[in-house]
Structure 1
Amino acid sequence: MTTIEKQLLAAPRHHRYIITIIAVVLVLFVWSLTAVSFQEMDQSGARIALNIFKGLVQPDLGLLFNFTEQGVVYLLVQTVAIAFLGTLVGAVLAVPLAFLAASNIVPKPVSWLTRLVLITIRTIPALVYGLMLIRVTGPGPFAGVLTVGLVSIGMLAKLFVDAIEELDTRVLESMTSIGCTTFEKIRFGIVPQLLSVFSSVMIYRFDMNMREASILGLVGAGGIGAPLIFAMRSYKWSQVGAILIGLVVLILIIEWLSNRLRSKLVKG
């Protein structure tokens, strides 16, 4: 018998703990099933599901390859623009908030208050922000940009704070000892440590904002969501299929590009 096998056999057995966890999970699973009702599923639902599948198999190619403002390509480009600008807006606003929330940079009360503000921002869903901002700016892409930016602040600032609190302070101490100014310490001591992390987080958030921008169109905040819901309400499943195919292809391309960029930033 090898040493590893002896250690494995000598490891304590937590049978009661495992059985308790399994029992709790099973109880929660059965309890959750009580909230699911299959009574409303009838033949019309099955027919609609079949029509959606047919729409994906036989999409409206005229709409898919239409390069006018009503085409899928234009709407996808608009969705990307909303996600990109919203990510930039959120990142710019998140940076000062992150420094104010970092306990190793500012006093604890200021850090605690800023973190409370960030938690509040993260609590409100994107659709709620979209509905409120549409009342302010009117429907359109501008409301979508503001909504995506506001939603991005909470997550970006939280991850920025984690990076700031992990700063190597020995670099700053050594720069202080040789008489560097505050600007030089920020430029050559802080920015090089945070730039790659901040960039990687922004790319990841942009990937998420693509999905947010697609959904925001449902409330009139621009992008491809509004044509999608209109096509579904009109039972134009071939148009639904064209929009979904374009959206899936775009998401896959952005996912591939963002993964490559993040891997290069990590290696760099």
Structure 2
Amino acid sequence: MNNMINKQLEREPNRRVSYITIFAILLAFLIWSVTGVQFNGIDSRGSTIAGNIITGILSPDLEFLFEFSDEGVPYLLFETICIAFLGTIFGSVLAIPVAFLMSQSIVGPVLSFITRTLLVVIRTIPSFVYGLMFIRVTGPGAYAGVLTMSITSIGMVSKLYLDTIEEIDDGILEAMEAAGCNTFEKIRYGVIPQLFTNFLSTTIYRFDMNLRDATVLGLVGAGGIGAPLIFAMNSYRWSEVGSILIGLIILILVIEFISSKSREKLANG
């Protein structure tokens, strides 16, 4: 028995050279990366500013935090949620035909390649750049944020939709065709039930991401709570910064909890 085990171990390929080579490549990349980054240390005022930020978070402006006008934290958070929600809905709906056009088994290799190339171009441009472009077209405000969220959502969502489409059970469709079902019936009862759960789970996950991105987009004037945050930081109003950050933390935790539970229920049927 021991001889058989030893023979099997001897026949197993020696991967030591491969592991050493991979380690050497990673080490070379690490050294190259370190030489390309200049570490300047901490600014002379850095510790003071960090202390002021921490003090502002620990002693927030409660009046600003609970002010229910259009300039208070609750309204700004609500506007941020609306931007992320509408952007996710529009982007997810637009991603459905894009995902089908990316599927080589459905539209053929030529159209699939063109759509995939276009999608790569869309995904290459950062959301920050889209926000700046849309602000030039529509002017500053939440509308530019919604358009930005919609475009940036198409890139990731359509890719995940495509993975779901490629996993469709063709046996079900063949059985329905043998039973005499028409195209509409095959889509309604054979395709949609297989795609709906995963599509919805992907949309919820993207909304979670868009909520964070919508905060960043506010920095360029695309609506939401980002603009008041950067204005407060530039004016050294750290108590207002603390109020905004506390509101953001609570909002992200609540959305994260709801989205995790929703995706867990969808995964479990």
Shift of residue 12, structure 1, vs aligned partner: 5.4
In the alignment, what sits opposite 2:178?
A: 177
Shift of residue 39, structure 1, vs aligned partner: 3.4
Deviations 1:169-200 (A, max 9, x none): 11111111121111111100100000001000
In the alignment, what sits opposite 2:27?
A: 26
Equivalent runs, 1:54-73 vs 2, <5 Å? 54-73=55-74
TM-score by length of 1: 0.93
In the alignment, what sits opposite 2:83?
A: 82
In the alignment, what sits opposite 2:144?
A: 143
Structure 2, unaligned runs of 5 or more: none
Equivalent runs, 1:92-111 vs 2, <5 Å? 92-111=93-112
Shift of residue 101, structure 1, vs aligned partner: 1.1
Aligned partner letter, 2:211: M
In the alignment, what sits opposite 1:165?
A: 166
Residues in 2 aligned to 1:236 and 1:9: alpha-carbon distance in whole angstroms: 69
Shift of residue 135, structure 1, vs aligned partner: 1.1
In the alignment, what sits opposite 2:258?
A: 257
Paired residue secondary structure (2:106): coil
Q: Does 1:229 align with 2:230?
A: yes
In the alignment, what sits opposite 2:16?
A: 15
The alignment covers a number of residue pairs equal to 267
Residues in 1 aligned to 2:256 and 2:8: alpha-carbon distance in whole angstroms: 43
In the alignment, what sits opposite 2:135?
A: 134
Residues in 1 aligned to 2:20 and 2:224: alpha-carbon distance in whole angstroms: 49
Question: What percent of counterpart residues are identical?
Answer: 57
Deviates more, 1:91-100 or 1:187-196: 91-100
Deviations 1:192-236 (A, max 9, x none): 000001000000000000011010001110000000110111111
Shift of residue 35, structure 1, vs aligned partner: 3.8
Shift of residue 31, structure 1, vs aligned partner: 3.0
CA contact (8 A) 1:103 1:165 kept: no
Residues in 2 aligned to 1:42 and 1:144: alpha-carbon distance in whole angstroms: 33
Paired residue secondary structure (2:105): coil
Residues in 2 aligned to 1:14 and 1:170: alpha-carbon distance in whole angstroms: 41
Q: Does 1:48 align with 2:10?
A: no
Deviates more, 1:145-154 or 1:9-18: 9-18
Aligned partner letter, 1:247: L
In the alignment, what sits opposite 1:116?
A: 117
Deviations 1:84-106 (A, max 9, x none): 00000001111111111111211
Residues in 1 aligned to 2:157 and 2:255: alpha-carbon distance in whole angstroms: 19
Deviations 1:108-148 (A, max 9, x none): 11111111111111111001111111111111001100100
Deviations 1:2-22 (A, max 9, x none): x99x98899655333333333
Residues in 2 aligned to 1:188 and 1:199: alpha-carbon distance in whole angstroms: 17
Paired residue secondary structure (1:39): coil
TM-score by length of 2: 0.92
Deviates more, 1:200-209 or 1:99-108: 99-108
